[in-house]
Amino acid sequence: MNMSSSPAVSSPLTAIPADIRNAQDYAALAPHFMPPSHYAYIAGGSGYGQSVAANVAAFEQWAIYPRLLRDVSHGHTRITLAGDDYAHPLLLAPVAFHKLAHANGEVDTARAADATETCMIASTQSSYPLEQTVARRGWFQLYLLPRREDTLHLLRRAEAAGYRAIVLTMDAPIQVANRRALAAQFQLPADCVNVNLRGYDLTPRFAGDGPGESRFFQGAMRGAPSWDDIRWIMDATRLPVWVKGVLHPDDAVALRDAGVSGIAVSNHGGRSLDGAPSGLDVLAAIRAAVGAQFPVLYDGGILSGSDAFKALALGADAVAIGRLQLYALSVAGALGVAHMLKLLREELEICMAMAGCATIGDIDSGTLLRQLRR
C-alpha cells in the first residue's frame, strides 16, 4: 500500500504491506482506516491537547549513547513482572472501546497479545466482555464503581476469568472535554457500548447540586477514589494490585508504603488534566523516590522502540503502549497489532545492541544524554 495515498475509509488489511517498516508507520496509516470522528476521539486528549503533545515531545530531549566493543551475543529482552516471566517489557495499556478501530475490537487485540507473548491490560471500558478479552497472563484495569458491591462483583469476574493482576486507575475522577473529538462531532456508535458495566448502578454517589455547591468539589471529587478504597481492594483480592496515574514522587512513595504491588507513571495519555507533565519528565524522580526495587511501569507517547528504551533507562521496569495499539488494530486487526509489537520489540533490540545493553537490566540513565528540545 502507498502510504502517501488518502483513502476515505479503507477496510482492514488481511496482509501487511511491505512499506510498513516501523511501528510508528501505523500511526501514519490509521486515519485512512477509521472514520474521522473516531480518529479524532482516539488521537485527541483533554482540553487543548497540551499533555498529549507533551508526551511525544518529552522523548525528544534524550539521545541514546552508542557504545563500542560491547559483547551482546547473549542478549535478550526477558523480564519478570508481578511474579510472571515475560518475553519482553512491552505491554498493551488499557484503552477504551477498541471497537472504534476494528469490528473485532479487544478480542483481536488479545489474540495479538497472545501471539507475541505480550501482557495486555484489558480496560473496564471495553466493547467486548472481559471474559472474552483476557490474554494469557493478562491484567485487568479496574475503575471503582459508585457502589462497592458492584466493584466487588466486577473484581470477582476478573479473577474468575484468569486475569493475573488488577490495575486501579486513579487519575480520572473528572474527564475534561476532548475538544478535538467535539469539533469532529464524535459520538459512540450504537454497537460500541461498555458491555462490562451492564447491570451495574452507575449513578454518581454525589451530584454537587445543592445550594452553593460545586459539581466538581462537592460532586465528582467527593466520589473520587480514596485511600480507604485502595485498602479495601487490596483486602478484597489476592491478586497483585497496581495503581495507574501517578505523576508526583510523594504519591508514589505513599502508594509504595501503603502496600500496592506497583505503580504506573502516566498522565492518562493526556486524557485527564490538560497541562499535566509528561510521565517521562517525572519518571526519574519517581524512581529515585521509591527506590530501585519497587515495580514501576510507564505509559504515554511511546511510538518506537527507542522511546521504550528511553523510558526503561529513566526508571521503568516495563512500558505500556496506548494509542499505537488502536492504530495498528484499525489497519489490520489482530495481524496489525501483532506486527506492530514485533516491530517495536525489534526496534528495542536494535537500541539495546547499539547501546551495549545485552539485557533490560543493563539499561540505565547512563545510556542517555539530555539535550535541548527542538
Residue-wise pLDDT tens digits, 15-67: 999 999 999 999 999 999 999 999 999 999 888 888 889 999 999 999 999 99
What are the sequence ranges of the domains in the chain? 25-368
3-state secondary structure of 168: strand
Best CA proximity match to 305, nearest among 84, 73, 68, 59: 59
CATH of domain 25-368: 3.20.20.70
One-character DSSP codes across 316-334: -SEEEE-HHHHHHHHHHHH
Q: Which three cell numbers stand for residue 155?
A: 473484581
Best CA proximity match to 150, nearest among 106, 199, 92: 199
The partner residues of 241 in beta bridges, in order of sequence, read: 166
| pLDDT value for 221 | 53
| pLDDT value for 178 | 84
For the entire predicted model, the pTM comes to: 0.93
Answer yes or no: are the C-beta atoms of 96 and 72 closer than 8 Å.
no
Best CA proximity match to 342, nearest among 8, 18, 23: 23
| pLDDT value for 108 | 98
3-state secondary structure of 47: strand
**How far is it, in rounded angstroms, from Cα 141 to Cα 151?**
12
88 belongs to the catalytic site:
no
**How far is it, in rounded angstroms, from Cα 37 to Cα 150?**
32
**How far is it, in rounded angstroms, from Cα 150 to Cα 297?**
28
Q: What single-letter DSSP state applies at residue 243?
A: E
Answer yes or no: are the C-beta atoms of 204 and 221 closer than 8 Å.
no
| pLDDT value for 6 | 43
Evaluated on CA atoms 323, 196, 263, 271, the torsion sign reads: positive
- At 214, is the pLDDT very low, low, confident or very high (cuts 50, 70, 90)? low
| pLDDT value for 4 | 46
Read off φ and ψ for residue 21, nearest 5 degrees: -110, -20
- Looking up cell 545510556 gives 367
**Number of Cβ atoms within 10 Å of the Cβ of 183:** 11
Answer yes or no: are the C-beta atoms of 315 and 283 closer than 8 Å.
yes
> Residue 124: which residues within 8 A CB-CB, separation 6 or more?
94, 130, 140, 141, 142, 143, 154, 194, 196, 197
Per-residue pLDDT reduced to its tens digit, 298-351: 999 999 999 999 999 999 999 999 999 999 999 999 999 999 999 999 999 999
Per-residue pLDDT reduced to its tens digit, 65-86: 999 999 999 999 999 998 899 9
| pLDDT value for 363 | 98
Helices 227-236 and 148-161: crossing angle in degrees, nearest 10, is 40
| pLDDT value for 354 | 98
Mean pLDDT, the chain, whole residue set? 91
Per-residue pLDDT reduced to its tens digit, 91-140: 999 999 999 999 999 999 999 999 999 999 999 999 999 999 999 989 99
Q: Which of 38, 88, 102, 268 is catalytic?
A: 268
